[in-house]
Amino acid sequence: MATLKKANEVNGYFMTDSSTWVAGKKDLGNIKVLFKGDPYLINTYHGLCQPEGATKAQGYASQFIDFLNSDHGQKIIRDYGKSLYGQGMYNDAAYAKKYDH
């Protein structure tokens, strides 16, 4: 965020992730998004765990991944930050799949 603020101050350029932009754009009136959507710039996250059965913790990890994949979990991810910033800070799995590489 500090670098975005500096770019805003000096009318510079900076590459940032979408969630940082969403959180700060209301205070960054001198800069705007010039480019987005390149498949190689999309930062996807993956939930991984070892096969169930080895430890109780791995069972919890598997349950958490199942929750993240559920409709409710995806809605939480999609809507996170929306009430505060006017748009969600993160994209869901359906969006990420379009850019899987």
- pLDDT above 90 covers what percent of the chain? 62
Please give the average per-residue pLDDT across 15-30, as a whole number: 93
Residues 49 and 17 in one domain: no
Residue 4, judged by CB atoms within 10 A of its CB (0-12, 13-18, 19+), counts as buried
Residues spanned by the domain of 30: 1-36
Structural domain total, the chain: 2
pLDDT above 70: residue 101: no
Residues 27 and 64 in one domain: no
Please give the average per-residue pLDDT across 57-70, as a whole number: 87
Residues 7 and 53 in one domain: no
Torsion of Cα atoms, 75 then 76 then 79 then 82, to 10°: 160
Residues 60 and 31 in one domain: no
Q: pLDDT band at residue 77, thresholds of 50, 70 and 90?
A: very high
pTM of the model as a whole: 0.77
Residues 60 and 21 in one domain: no
Residues 8 and 31 in one domain: yes
pLDDT above 80: residue 47: yes
